[in-house]
Amino acid sequence: MTHDVILIGGGQAALSVAYFLRRTGRTFHILDAEPAGGGAWQHGWDSLRLFSPAAWSSIAGWPMPPTGDTYPGRDHVVDYLRAYEQRYALPVERPVQVSAVVHDDQGFAVQAGDRTWAARTVVSATGTWRKPFVPEVAGLAEFTGTQLHSAHYRRPDAFAGQRVMVVGGGNSGAQILAEVSLWAAQTLWVTPQVPAFLPDDVDGRVLFERATARWRAQQEGRSVDVLPGGFGDVVMVPPVVDARARGVLASVRPYAHFTRDGAVWADGTQRSFDAVIWCTGFRPALDHLAPLGIVQGGQVAVDGTRATGTPGLWLVGYGEWTGTASATLVGVMRSARSTAAEIDAYLAR
């Protein structure tokens, strides 16, 4: 059987595109590497919470049910995405780890082990969780302490009584530092620059409004340089506010190199640590597109979400380069809608 569309990935981006594809009548099939629904959210740390209320954290078609808390937690998001699949009876097959996408006479052959699916078009929506990034640092291989990326961090009590260095100035770094500092004997926050904190009353609602203003300006050909920023600053969720009150949000600039038991700074300062938590971000998970020869510098050239060098291929939900705020629950809706419309037009030719 040849599907009109194969979607690779089963998280919020793929589900959003699938919602709009249902309206076109095109046949589609979703291949998800996870054993259960919920996308990368099911791998978040136990206390992870959104920056926005449920009403501002929904994907296309069905609002996220409200929760008793102001900001929904990880499990609430996972339950919502799983219920979303069932609500719209989306055709998801899992676990399927797609290893390659190649051209064939029908369009594409999507391969996973010894299995192959035929498709006229493909939507890659694998996100970034499977590609955690740790920077290259001199001496890092000599460090004998524990190293953990935020992708695999779960609970702060695992670091009880330890000396912990948290590296990374984004929201994950601030939130993980906030709760680890309640258990660790000592914490140190290392950030490339002095962190920028949003006002206490700014949450995901305001950030999405900012992103929308930037998107509209881009659509109208106006400059975005004079508009407020996007999602780069630290949101003052309650645990981070508490950490500020405890005086633990101060950060230092990065070290010069690592040693067996810690790190050394350019001025000669030496500090010892039992563990390092890397909150240094992710890269797009695009290994399955390598056979097409279109991945350059960890990205694919796109016009909106359409791969410019490969007719019939779209990429959704990887971040700003595939659409403003497209890596967020509510923000991916615009990219999903336009992608489904473009696919429908492409298949109608």
Q: What is the pLDDT of residues 167-221, one digit of tens each?
A: 999 889 999 999 999 999 999 999 999 998 888 777 655 655 665 555 454 554 5
Q: What is the pLDDT of residue 221?
A: 57
User: Is it the case that residue 135 has pLDDT exceeding 80?
Assistant: yes
- Given this model, what pLDDT does residue 26 score? 97
User: Mean of the per-residue pLDDT values for the chain?
Assistant: 91
Q: Identify which has the larger pLDDT, 311 or 326.
A: 311
* CA 5 to chain centroid: 23
pTM for the model: 0.89
Question: What pLDDT score was predicted for residue 227?
Answer: 42
Mean pLDDT across 17-45: 97
The DSSP element (H or E) to which 208 belongs, if any, is helix 204-219
Cβ neighbourhood burial of 123 (10 Å; 0-12, 13-18, 19+):
buried
pLDDT digits (tens, 9 = 90+) for 77-119: 999 999 999 999 999 999 999 999 999 988 999 999 999 999 9
pLDDT for res 7 = 98
Find residue 235's DSSP bridge partners: none
> Looking at 8-12, 146-150, 264-268, 321-325, which range is the least confident one?
321-325
Pair 296, 284: CB distance under 8 Å: no
Whole-angstrom distance, CA of residue 285 vs CA of residue 288: 8
Mean pLDDT of 311-340: 92
Q: What is the pLDDT of residues 240-274, one digit of tens each?
A: 999 999 999 999 999 999 999 999 999 999 999 99
Q: For residue 57, what pLDDT is reported?
A: 84
Please, what are the domains in the chain? Answer: 2-130+282-347 (3.50.50.60), 140-197+233-278 (3.50.50.60)
Confidence band (pLDDT; 50, 70, 90) for 233?
Answer: confident
CB 212 within 8 A of CB 224: no
* pLDDT at position 47 over 70: yes
Please report, as a single letter, which amino acid is at residue 323: G
Report the DSSP pairing between strands 275-278 and 146-149.
parallel
pLDDT at residue number 67:
84
